[in-house]
Structure 1
Amino acid sequence: MNDTSRNVSFTDPWIYCLDHGYVTPMICQSTEVLCFLLGTPALVWCLWISLSGSISGGLKPTQIFPMNLCIVELLFCIEGLFQTIYYLFLPNNNMFLQVVYCLFFIAWVCRPLFQTCICVERYMAVVQPVAFIKYRLRRYRMGTSTLIWGLAIIYPCFTVSSLGYLTKTNDVLVSVYCLGGVVISFCCFFILRALKQPGPGEVEGGRGGEKKQRTTDPQKMRAFSIVLTNLVIILVSSILVAVGFFTMPNSGIDFYCNTFLMLLACNMLSVVVSPVLHLHREGRLHCRKGPVTN
C-alpha cells in the first residue's frame, strides 16, 4: 500500500513530512516562530495596558475575560516555540512531547472558550442590558474563568498517558470550536443588528411622523466595525481548525503534510492579528495612530 493512503496519527507525521520533502511543515514551523516573535511582545503590551489600568482603578468585571484571553494567546505563542524546539532539537524526548501536548491542548481549547465568553458578555451588554447589570459582578466571571482553566488543565494531564488520547483530543477540539463558532455567530449577529438600529437621538421625525433625517452615532459605527472584524477573524480561524481536526483522522499523509498544516498556520496568524488590531484601535502603534478612545 502506498504511504500516502495510510491514516495519520499525531505522533509521527511531522518528521515523516520533513523526511519526504514536504515544504508545508517548514512554513508552519516558521509561522510558529513568527507568532512567538511578533505575537508575544504585542500580547505583553496589551496585557500591560489592561493591568496598568486595573492597578490604578481596580480590575473591572468586563476586563476579566479579555485578560484571560490575552494570557491564553501568550500561552499559544509559547506552545508554538516549545513545539519548534521539540521537532528541531528533541524529537525523541517523550517527556517534552507530553509537555508540548498539554500546552497545546490548554491553549487551543481555552482560546475559543474565552472568545465565546467575551462575545456572550458583549451580547448581554448590548441586547440584554438588564440581565447584564444583574450578572455584572466580578465573581461570575472569575468562577467561569476558573472553571475553563481547571477543565483545560485537568483533561490533558489525565489523558496524556492513555491509549487513544490523541483521537479523543481531536474530538474535543472539533466540538469546542464548532460550539464556540455557533455561539459567537449567534451573539455577534444580534449585536450587529442592534448596532444598526437607530437610537432615540439618531432619527428625527418629519411632518406626519415620517423619518426625515437619520444620523448615525460614530461610536456605534466604530463598535459595529470592531465586532464585524473580530467576528470574521474568529469564524475563519474556528472553521479552519474544526475542518482540519475533523478531517485529519480519516485522511492520508498527503492531507496532513499539505492541507492540515497550512490550516494550522493560518489559524496561528490570527494570534498576531488580534493584538495588533487592538493596539491600533488604542492608538498605541506609532506607525499609524488608531482612533482616539474616550
Structure 2
Amino acid sequence: MNNSTVNFTTESSTTYSFESLDIFEMYACSFNFLLGLPTHSYVIWLIITTGSGVASVFFKLNLSVCEIGICVTSLIFILCFWFPSLTTLMWFLMGISITGRPLFQCLICVERYLAVVHPVTFLKYKPLRYRVICCTVAWIITLCSCILSMFLLPNTIEQTLFFTTQFLLFLSIQLFCLVAVLRALKQSGPGERGREREEENHIKRRAFNVILISTVNIFFIYAPYTITGLFNIVTKQNFRVLWCICTFCFLMAGFVQPVLYLYHAEKLTCLCYSKVM
C-alpha cells in the first residue's frame, strides 16, 4: 500500500493532500474492506459450521483470518490520511500481509503435497493437533514479521530485501510442491486399474491445481513489489503509478482463495450452474 504521505519508500508526513493516485488507492482499499470483510467472514462461518469438520480445512480457516486482518489494514490505511497517529499500527499490521498470507498458502500447498506424494506421512500427521501446532508457529512468525515491519518497511533497501527474501523462499517451496505433484500425476501406482486410477488421478489433479493457483497468486502478490522496489533502488526515483499497480495486484490477490473455496462448496450459484451445464 502506498500514498503520498505513507508509503513503502518515504517517511510519514503531517501534511495530507489528495491526488488522483491517492483517491485510486483509497477506492481500492475501500473495495477490499467492504467486499473482502464479509466474504472472508462468510468463508470462516462456512468452515466452522460445515459437517465435514474443521481439521481438513484448518489452514484455510487461518488464511481467512489473515485476510480479515488485511481488510482491517486497508481501513486503517485510509484513516491514516486523517489520523497520522495510526501509521505505526498500519505498519505493524502489514506483517500479516507480507508474511501471514503467503505462509498459510504455503502450508496448504505442503499439505496437498504430502497427501499426494507421501500419503503415509500425511495420514500420520492428519489429526487436528498437528495443524494447530503448525498454525501456532506460523502465527508466531507472522507476529515477528509485524514487529519487523514497523522498522524495516520505511527504508527502501531493507523493505525490498525483506520482500524479495520471502518471495523467493515461499515461491521455492510452492514450486517444489508443484513439480513433485506434477510428477506424481504423470505416474500411476502399481496395480491401479480403471475407476481407481481415475479417482486417484482426480485427487492428484485437484492438488496440482490448488498448488498452481496458489503459486501464481504468490507471484502476483510479491513480484510487482519486488520489481518496483529494485527499480526504485537502481533509478533512485519513486514512481507512484508503479506502487499503485502493486497495491491493486496485492489487494485483488486476496479474493482468489475465498472464491475457490466458495466455488468448491457450491456457494457461487452462477459458476456452479455453469459447471453442471
Contact preservation (8 Å) 2:95, 2:147: no
Contact preservation (8 Å) 2:110, 2:177: yes
Q: Does 1:123 pair with 2:123?
A: no
The aligned residue for residue 197 of structure 1 is 187
Residue correspondence of structure 1 range 248-259 to structure 2 within 5 A? 248-255=232-239, 257-259=240-242
Residue correspondence of structure 1 range 64-143 to structure 2 within 5 A? 64-87=58-81, 89-90=82-83, 93-94=84-85, 96-143=86-133
- Could you report, residue by residue, the CA deviation over 1:117-159 in whole angstroms, capped at 9, with x for unpaired residues? 1111111111111222233343332222222222322454477
Cα distance change of structure 1 residues 145 and 130 upon mapping to structure 2, 3 Å threshold: same
Kindly tell me the number of residue pairs found equivalent between the two proteins: 262
Q: Does 1:277 pair with 2:260?
A: yes
Which of the numbers 40, 46, 49 marks the counterpart of 1:49? 46
Q: Secondary structure at the match of 1:288?
A: helix
The aligned residue for residue 10 of structure 2 is 10
The aligned residue for residue 54 of structure 2 is 59
Q: Does 1:229 pair with 2:213?
A: yes
Cα distance change of structure 1 residues 111 and 245 upon mapping to structure 2, 3 Å threshold: farther
d(CA) in 2 for partners of 1:165, 1:246: 14
Letter in 2 for 1:274: Q
**Structure 2 segments unaligned to the other structure (5+ residues):** 1-7
CA positional deviation for 1:50: 0.8
Which of the numbers 161, 168, 173 marks the counterpart of 2:163? 173
Which region of structure 1 is more displaced relative to structure 2, 118-127 or 169-178? 169-178
Which region of structure 1 is more displaced relative to structure 2, 242-251 or 176-185? 242-251
Contact preservation (8 Å) 1:24, 1:262: no
CA positional deviation for 1:183: 0.7
Cα distance change of structure 1 residues 9 and 254 upon mapping to structure 2, 3 Å threshold: closer
d(CA) in 1 for partners of 2:210, 2:53: 25
Cα distance change of structure 1 residues 134 and 288 upon mapping to structure 2, 3 Å threshold: closer
Query: How much is the aligned-residue C-alpha RMSD, in angstroms?
Result: 3.1
Which of the numbers 138, 148, 152 marks the counterpart of 2:142? 152
d(CA) in 2 for partners of 1:228, 1:202: 27
Contact preservation (8 Å) 2:94, 2:149: no
Contact preservation (8 Å) 1:109, 1:173: no
Contact preservation (8 Å) 2:43, 2:64: yes
* Larger relative contact order (CA 8 Å, sep ≥ 6): 1
The aligned residue for residue 226 of structure 2 is 242
Contact preservation (8 Å) 1:39, 1:272: yes
Which region of structure 1 is more displaced relative to structure 2, 28-37 or 217-226? 217-226
Contact preservation (8 Å) 2:91, 2:149: no
Q: Does 1:183 pair with 2:167?
A: no
Contact preservation (8 Å) 2:40, 2:68: yes
Letter in 2 for 1:228: L
d(CA) in 2 for partners of 1:248, 1:77: 27
d(CA) in 2 for partners of 1:219, 1:243: 36
Which region of structure 1 is more displaced relative to structure 2, 125-134 or 223-232? 223-232
Cα distance change of structure 1 residues 183 and 154 upon mapping to structure 2, 3 Å threshold: closer
Q: TM-score, normalised by structure 2?
A: 0.80
The aligned residue for residue 4 of structure 1 is none
**Structure 1 segments unaligned to the other structure (5+ residues):** 1-7, 205-213
CA positional deviation for 1:246: 4.2
Q: Secondary structure at the match of 1:166?
A: coil
The aligned residue for residue 265 of structure 1 is 248
Cα distance change of structure 1 residues 134 and 218 upon mapping to structure 2, 3 Å threshold: closer
Contact preservation (8 Å) 2:167, 2:218: no
